[in-house]
Amino acid sequence: MAHVFVTGSSDGLGKMAAQLMIAAGHRVVLHARNEKRAADARKAVPDAESVQIGDFASIAQTRALAEAVNRIGTFDAVIHNAAVGYQEPRKETEDGLPHVFQVNTVGPYILTALMNPPARLVYLSSGMHRGADGSLNDLTWKKRRWNGSNAYAESKLHDTMLAFAVARLWTDVRSNAVDPGWVATKMGGRGAPGDLAAAPKTQVWLATSDEPAARVTGQYFYHMAARPADPAASDHDTQDRLLAECERFSGVTFPASRG
């Protein structure tokens, strides 16, 4: 039986993953960005162990969330599912960062850096990460004209880079990225063509399975099969630059070596 923390689990794929794991006998802690969403999570997944609250759009709240989950203990796995979508206009958080960048990139970075490292980490990516700008120039979109789709695609490339950087630097942690497919969640939209029932299964498998194929690290998966990621995600210098930039924006230092 695994003990798993799932971010962004009040609805969508996070909720579905939590339900699958609880049905299989695992212990699951949920996450929501505010009290209203926490109530939704408790209603949707009543057998969850608890719901932890913290908005990734706030560095202070994300740090406090890490402290709260560390008081629970060390998890067997963490699924980094929380994200906002590609249709957002440009808006800044209380910390002065683009909302998409802070929630999708900086939030997972802070939790990764501050939480007790689990045995397994799973980061939700997207097929849109392929071909995204991996230069890491103008991460705050101060110089470029805003494009929500591109900002989202870049953030999913960042999540894949983060997964691969952790796999490289923390040799005792299995860290992987997952493309769940374009599916009909609130983020994906009603017309999304992907298999919604299959969408949460790969992250659950990577977080909980003892099958040899799931006990790997530094891989990118789609429907429980390894697939090539964008080459930029595997570049060590780019990974290190992303970690440095996230540290600069958040004030949180990444523990560079484990294992």
User: pLDDT tens, position by position, for the chain (259 residues)?
Assistant: 999 999 999 989 999 999 999 999 999 999 999 999 999 999 999 999 999 999 999 999 999 999 999 999 999 999 999 999 888 889 999 999 999 999 999 999 999 999 999 999 999 999 999 999 999 999 999 999 999 999 999 999 999 999 999 999 999 999 999 999 865 465 655 665 566 788 999 999 999 999 999 999 999 999 999 999 999 999 999 999 999 999 999 999 999 765 4
The domains located in the chain, with CATH, are 3-250 (3.40.50.720)
Reduced to 3 states, what is the DSSP secondary structure of residue 33?
coil
Residue 201 has what pLDDT?
Answer: 98
Position 186 scores a pLDDT of 59
36 among known catalytic residues: no
pLDDT at 196: 74
Active-site residue flag, 156: yes
Residue spans of beta strands (DSSP E) within the chain: 3-6, 27-32, 50-53, 77-80, 120-124, 174-179, 220-222, 225-226
pTM of the model: 0.95
Active-site option among 152, 186, 201, 222 = 152
- Count of CB atoms situated within 10 Å of the CB of 201: 17
What gap in Å lies between CA 21 and CA 28, rounded to an integer? 7
- Show Cβ contacts of residue 210 under 8 Å, excluding neighbours closer than 6 positions: none
State the catalytic residue, choosing from 86, 109, 123, 156.
156
